[in-house]
Amino acid sequence: MSIKRTLFSFLVIFTLISQALLAEGKGEFDLFVRYYREKDYAMAKNLAKNLVEEPAYRYHVKVILSEIYFQENDLYYAENLLKELMEEYPEKTAELQKRLDKVYKERHFVSRDSSDSNKRFVIYWREGQQKDEEILSLVSRFADEAYDQAGKFFEWYPETQIQIILYFGSEYNDYTIFPVWSQGGYDGKLRIMVRKPMASNLLKELIFHEYAHLVIQGVTKGNCPLWFNEAVAQYFSRIYGTKEELSYEKPEYNYLQFPKNWLSLPQDEVKRLYKESLMILLSIVKKSDPTVILSTLKALGAGKNFEEALNSALSIYGLNLKDL
């Protein structure tokens, strides 16, 4: 089974957040960010009404607001906010244009007329494309299985309907910001590349992997190192999705050696990073047990840094990071 690789547009958002936190009087902005990370968009938008009038926060708040509208499929409002920012901050045009391109692609792809939904999920395919009952049936079944398995393993369930967007073949490259080799991505919505024919196990792994990222985001409130996020998503998708027996190899990396951003790295290097991250996680689980994963994620969600979170989880086994 090939290793699933995912990239996060949230990295850019959190870079903006870090920059804004350097300003004075950040209490209300902190709360705004917290609501955004927890997907309490109504409260975030309410706080934004005053924050957008503060020069220190105006740019960052409006960018995050555009992302909130994007996640809610209010693409008209997302587009208008970004255009306003381009007029106010011409020096940011290149960055904002990338966000605007993402909105344009979504507007030309997503439509209620090309969707199917239940209480848990709404599944989209390209506007005007014929409905593929076979693929939709598989995606719906695997998504429900991921929902149930993740709920048990992570002890967390989403409070809102989850969006899954299906891209057939080249559509993935044409309508997403993710590299084509990634096959899927999570940016608040699950984006899955579909091919026909396609092995059902690969489709299942992709859905479980991307759904794991959604849950990790929810449990940790966005406070999770990229390498650990990817390691846990691989572990969950392959143990609980495709039910593989994962073979362990001694990792060449330690957790401090992972780059914070994998976006610009060559595909072969990214593949190696994913393997190394999984091997480190397996070494941790071997010396403790799988419950250490959830304990670490919960501690991250409580605001601890990674070292504090993992040491706290390992302490009940009489272990700490130095023992790994």
Which residue segment(s) compose the domain that 178 sits in?
113-323
Residues 199 and 277 both lie in one domain = yes
In DSSP notation, 149-175 reads: HHHHHH----SSPEEEEEEETTHHHHH
Q: Give the tens place of pLDDT for each residue, 104-132.
A: 999 999 998 999 999 999 999 998 888 99
Distance CA 72, CA 84 (A): 19
DSSP 3-state of 283: helix
Which residues have a Cβ under 8 Å from the Cβ of 1 and sit 6 or more positions away? 201, 202, 205, 238, 242, 244
Residues 97 and 232 both lie in one domain = no
Q: Give the tens place of pLDDT for each residue, 148-191.
A: 999 999 999 999 999 999 999 899 999 998 877 788 999 999 99
- Domain-embedded: residue 5: no
Residues 45 and 164 both lie in one domain = no
Residues 31 and 68 both lie in one domain = yes
pLDDT-derived band of residue 7, with 50, 70 and 90 as boundaries?
very low
Give me the number of domains the chain comprises: 2
Residues 158 and 30 both lie in one domain = no
Residues 248 and 154 both lie in one domain = yes
Domain end position, chosen among 89, 108, 127: 108
Residues 35 and 124 both lie in one domain = no
Distance CA 102, CA 163 (A): 16
Q: Give the tens place of pLDDT for each residue, 212-252.
A: 999 999 999 999 999 999 999 999 999 999 999 999 999 99
- Domain-embedded: residue 4: no
Residues 165 and 103 both lie in one domain = no
Residue type for position 231:
A
- Domain-embedded: residue 16: yes
Q: Determine the pLDDT at residue 129.
A: 87
State the Cα angle at 213 between 210 and 217, rounded to 5°: 150
Residue type for position 111:
S
Give the gyration radius of the chain's Cα atoms: 20
pLDDT-derived band of residue 280, with 50, 70 and 90 as boundaries?
very high
